[in-house]
Chain A
Amino acid sequence: MTTDITQIRTPAEKALISLYANEKDRLPGSEPVKALRSEAFAEFERTGLPHRRIESWHYTDLRSQLREAAPLFSVGSSEFEDSLRHVQPSVPDGYCFVLLDGIFVPELSDLDQLPAGVRVRSLADVLATGDANLVERLAPKGLGTGDPALSLNAALMQGGVVVDVAPGGEIAKPLIILSVMSAGAVHAAYHRSLVRVGAGAKVTLFEIVDAVEIGSNQQNGALVLELGDGAEVEHLTRISRQGADAIIINSVLASLGANCQYDGFALIADGGLVRRQIFLRFDGEHSNAAVRGLSLLSGKRHADTTLVVDHAVPHCTSREYFKHIIADEATGVYQGKVIVRPHAQKTDGAMKSRALLLSDSAAMFNKPELEIFADDVVCGHGATVAQLDEDQLFYLRSRGLPRAEAEQLLLEAFANEAVEHVQNEGARERLMTYVSDWLAARK
C-alpha cells in the first residue's frame, strides 16, 4: 500500500518555487549548469526548507523563521561605491573581491594589482563557458550533499568568484571576498565561490559578510575550498552588521590534500539568524585542520555553527574550538560531527565548545558527535556553558574596577583567547577591534 503525501508548502517555499521558475533562465550558465541547477532545485523541493525534524537543522528551524523569501536584486545602485566606504574601514589591507547582492563587481574589486600566481574570474563567466571540470568542482561530491540550504544555493547561485592560487605561491596579503548587500528594500542574494589553492601555496583568505545599511536581507553564500598537497591556508570569516531579522547562511565545502595546514576562524556578530556550516574532508594524509570561531549574540539573534569533519584518510589531525558570548534572549548553537572512516587510523581529533551566558534568557545548545569506525584513534570533545565567574568579578572589583569594566575585561579576555589565534596581523587587529566595540556597545 502506498500513501500519497502532499507536502504542505509554506509561503516562503512557494515564493522560492516561483522565484526559481522566474529566474532560472536569467541566471548565468550553459547547459551543464542548467542541469546542475535543476537537479539541485529538485533536491530542495523534495526536502523543502530545513526544519527541526531534519537532524542537522534541529536547532535552526529555517522553515518557521523564513517567513518570506525575498526577491533577488540586480547590480545597479550608482551610490554603491560611496556606500562601500562605510564598510571599508573594517576590511584589512589585501586584495578585495566585491560581491554586491551576490554578484561579482569587477570595477569595485582589486583586480589590477593582483600578485603573481593569483587568478580571479567571475563565477558567472565561468558558468557561462560551461567548463565541465569546473562545474563539477563547484558542487563537490560528498561534501554537504543533500543539505537543503546548499541545494538552494546551487540552484540559485547568481555570482561569485573563482580564485586560483598557483602551486608554490606565497601570497602575503589576504585575499578578501567581501559580500555586501546594497541598501533598499529587503532582498536576497545567493552566491558561490571556488578557491583552489595549489600545492605548497600559502594564503590567507578572508570572507566578509557585511551590509551597507543594517537591514533584514537574506544571504545564502557558499565557498568551495580546495587545498592542494602541502598548501597552507588561513581562512577567516566575519559575519556582521546585519539587522535582527536578517538571515545569513554561510557554507564552506573544504577538501584537503596531503600535508596541508588549514586554520579557520569565524567571527559572527550582529548577524540576525546565522547558520554557518562547514563540511571539511581530509583527502590526503598528514594534514591538520584547526577550525575556530567566536559568536557574539544579543537581542533575539541566533547563530548556529555546524561542522562535519570527515577523516576519510589516516594520520590527520582536526581541532575545533568554538566560543559564544550570549546576552539577552539570544541563542547559540554548536554542532560538531567528527567522522573517522574505518581505515582512517591514527586520527587525532579534539573538539571544545565554551559559552558564556549573560542573561537568564540566553540559550546555548551544544551537540558534539563522534562517529568513529577506526580503532586506533584519539578523539575527544568537551562543552561548557557558564556565566561570568563571580569570584573573578569580585577580585577585579576589589581592585577598583567598577562592575561594568570588570565584566568587559573578562569578556574581552574570553573573546580574545579565540581571536588571538588569527595569524594575519591586519585581520586580527580589526577583528579584535570589532569585538571590543561590540562588547563596549553592549553596556
Chain B
Amino acid sequence: MKFIGRRHSMAGTSPAITELKMLEIRNLHVEVEGKTILDGLSLTVKAGEVAAIMGPNGSGKSTLSYVIAGREDYDVTNGEILLEGENILDMDASERAARGLFLAFQYPIEIPGVGTMTFLKSALNAQRKARGEAELQTPELMKRVREGAKRLEINPDMLKRALNVGFSGGEKKRMEILQMALLEPKLAIMDETDSGLDIDALRVVAQGVNTLRAKNRAFLVITHYQRLLNYIKPDSVHVMAAGRIVKTGGPELALELEKNGYRDYVSEAA
C-alpha cells in the first residue's frame, strides 16, 4: 500500500480481476413515493475490478449508491443486491458497512460537535466490534490516521475539528478517501467523487483511490463526466439511463460518451 512509488503511474490499473463476484445486483426495482427510479437494474462487479457507471442527470445513479448503502427512503419493490454472494437488502446500513461496504458521498455530511478523530475511532471500532474483532487502541489509530492524512495531503489541524464542518469541497472529498483507507472496505462506491474538485484535488483523491486498488477489493465509480476516469482507470464502463444499465463496455466506452454524449442512450431507454 505504498503510495509514493506509484506516483508516476497515477492512472493505476487493477492488479488482477478475480472471478469472485464482489457485488451482484439482480433485476433491481426501486421506487420513491410511487415513482420508479431504478427499473430492473442488473450489474456485476468482480473482486479486483474497478467498474464505472456513467449516466446523465436523473438516470438514478445516486439512488443506486444510496440503495446499496442502505438508506431507507427508497422502496425496493423487486430484485436483490448481493455482497460476496449474500443478500444485503434486509441489513441495516451499519451492518452493510461492517461487511465491507463503503460509500464515498457526493456531498459528505457536516456533523457539528463530533470531532473528526472521535468519529473515525467510533466508526472503525463499531465495525470491528460487529465483526468480532478487538477494538483498535487510540495510539495505533492515531498513527494510521496521521499516515493516511499525510498521503492525502490533509492538514493535521483538520483532524482536530468537527467532522467536515467548515471543510472546503475538496477537503471533504479527501476526508472521504481517508475514511475509506482506514475502513479498508471490500466494495467502495464513489458517488460523483469528482464533483466540485479542482484538478489538483482530483489528482490527490484519485491517487488515494488507486493506492487502494487490490485484488480483494472492488470499486464502483459513479460519475457524470469522463474526466475522473482519466485518473482512475476503470476495467469496465456501464452506461445507465432511465434506471437501468443500457450498455456495458471497456474504458473506450467512456471516451465515446465524452464525444457523443448520452443522447442516444436516453432516447433508447425511453
| A77 close to chain B: CB less than 8 A | no
Which B residues touch A413, using CB under 8 A?
111-114, 162
Find out whether the CB atom of A400 lies under 8 angstroms from the CB atom of B123.
yes
Q: Find the residue from A392, A399, A405 having the highest chain B CB count within 10 A.
A: A399
Neighbouring B residues of A23 by C-beta, 8 Å: none
Cross-chain contact A401 with B105 (CB below 8 angstroms): no
User: With an 8 A cutoff between CB atoms, is B10 at the interface?
Assistant: no
Residues B114 and A401 in contact, CB atoms below 8 Å apart: no
Shortest distance in angstroms between B135's beta carbon and chain A's nearest beta carbon? Answer: 13
A399 near B92 (CB under 8 angstroms)?
no
Give bound CA distance, A395 to B94, whole Å: 10
Contacting pair A402 B111 (CB below 8 A): no
Q: Given known contacts A399-B123, A401-B94, is B113 in contact with A416 (CB within 8 Å)?
A: yes
**Is there a chain B Cβ closer than 8 Å to A391's Cβ?**
yes
Decide: A395 and B130 in contact? CB cutoff 8 A.
no
Min C-beta distance of A52 to chain B, whole Å: 35
- Which chain B residue shows the least CB distance to A401? B126
A409-B122, A413-B114 known; A402 vs B92 contact (CB < 8 Å): yes
B97 touches A400 (CB 8 A): yes
Are B114 and A410 interface neighbours, CB within 8 A? yes
Tell me whether B130 and A417 are in contact (CB under 8 A): no
Q: Does B54 contact A (CB under 8 A)?
A: no
Taking residues whose C-beta sits less than 8 angstroms from the other chain, chain A's interface range is: 20 to 34
How many angstroms from the CA of A395 to the CA of B114 in the assembled complex? 13
- Total residues of chain B contacting the partner, CB 8 A: 29
Q: Are A395 and B70 in contact (CB under 8 A)?
A: no
A20 touches B (CB below 8 Å): no
B270 to chain A, nearest CB (A): 31
Evaluate contact between B111 and A392: CB separation under 8 angstroms. Answer: yes
Contact of B98 with A by CB under 8 A: yes
Contact between A391 and B109 (Cβ–Cβ < 8 Å)? Answer: yes
Taking the nearest CB of chain B, how far is it from the CB of A146, in angstroms? 40
Q: Is A396 an interface residue, CB under 8 A from the partner? A: yes
A414 to B94, CA, bound (A): 22
- A394 at interface (Cβ–Cβ under 8 A)? yes
Residue of A with least CB distance to B164 = A395
User: Which residues of B (72-128) have their CB < 8 Å from a CB of A?
Assistant: 92-94, 96-98, 102-103, 105, 108-109, 111-114, 118-119, 122-124, 126-127
Interchain CB contact (< 8 A) of B109 among A392, A405, A416? A392
A421 at the B interface (CB under 8 A):
no
The answer to whether A78 has its CB under 8 Å from any CB of chain B is no
A417–B111 CB distance below 8 A: no
State the Cβ distance, B263 to closest chain A Cβ, in Å.
33
Cβ-based interface call for B71 (8 A): yes
Q: Are A409 and B97 in contact (CB under 8 A)?
A: no
Judged by a CB distance under 8 angstroms, whether A381 is at the interface is: no
Residue of B at shortest CB range from A415? Answer: B113
Cα A395 to Cα B111 in complex, Å, equals 9
Please tell me which one of the listed residues A396, A400, A403, A416 contacts residue B111 in the complex, with CB atoms under 8 A apart: A396
A300 beta carbon closer than 8 Å to chain B = no
Whether A398 is near chain B, meaning CB under 8 Å from some CB there, is yes
B200 to chain A, nearest CB (A): 26
By the criterion CB–CB under 8 Å, are A398 and B69 in contact?
yes
A398:B70 contact, CB within 8 angstroms? yes
B179 on the A face (CB < 8 A): yes
User: Which chain B positions have C-beta within 8 A of A403?
Assistant: 92, 94
CB atoms of A400 and B127 under 8 A apart: yes
Q: Provide the bound-state CA to CA distance between A401 and B92, in Å.
A: 10
The answer to whether A399 and B179 have CB atoms under 8 Å apart is yes
Q: Given A391-B109, A405-B122, A405-B126 in contact, is the A398-B93 Cβ separation under 8 Å?
A: yes
| B183 CB within 8 Å of chain A | yes
A417 with B113: CB separation less than 8 A: yes
Minimum distance in angstroms from B95 CB to a CB of chain A: 8
Q: How far is the CB of A406 from chain B (nearest CB, A)?
A: 8
Q: Which residues of B contact A173 (CB under 8 A)?
A: none
Q: List A residues 369-412 near B (Cβ within 8 Å).
A: 391-392, 394-403, 405-406, 409-410, 412
Instruction: Say how far A20's CB is from chain B's closest CB, in angstroms.
Output: 48
Interface contact B97-A395, CB-CB below 8 Å: no
A395 touches B123 (CB 8 A): no
Cβ–Cβ < 8 Å partners of B96 in chain A: 398
CA distance A392 to B163 in the complex (A): 11
CA distance A398 to B109 in the complex (A): 11
Measured CB to CB, the nearest residue on chain A to B131 is A400
The verdict on A395 contacting B108 (CB below 8 Å), with A400-B94, A410-B114, A414-B113 known, is yes
Contact B94 A397 (CB under 8 A): yes
Return chain B residues, CB-CB under 8 Å to A401.
Answer: 94, 122-123, 126
In the complex, which of the residues A391, A400, A414 has the most CB atoms of chain B within 10 Å of its own CB atom?
A400
Residues of B within 8 A of A (CB): 69-71, 92-94, 96-98, 102-103, 105, 108-109, 111-114, 118-119, 122-124, 126-127, 130, 162, 179, 183
The 3 closest A-B pairs by CB, nearest first: A413-B113, A400-B127, A399-B123
Taking A396-B123, A406-B94, A412-B113 as known contacts, 8 extra A-B pairs with beta carbons closer than 8 A to each other, sorted by chain A number, are A392-B111, A394-B93, A399-B123, A400-B94, A400-B97, A401-B122, A402-B126, A405-B122
Q: Which residues of A contact B (CB under 8 A)?
A: 391-392, 394-403, 405-406, 409-410, 412-414, 416-417
CB-defined A-B contacts under 8 Å, sample of 25: A391-B109, A394-B69, A394-B71, A395-B105, A396-B123, A397-B97, A398-B69, A398-B71, A398-B96, A398-B105, A399-B127, A399-B183, A400-B97, A400-B126, A400-B130, A401-B94, A402-B92, A403-B92, A405-B94, A405-B122, A405-B126, A409-B118, A413-B113, A413-B162, A416-B113
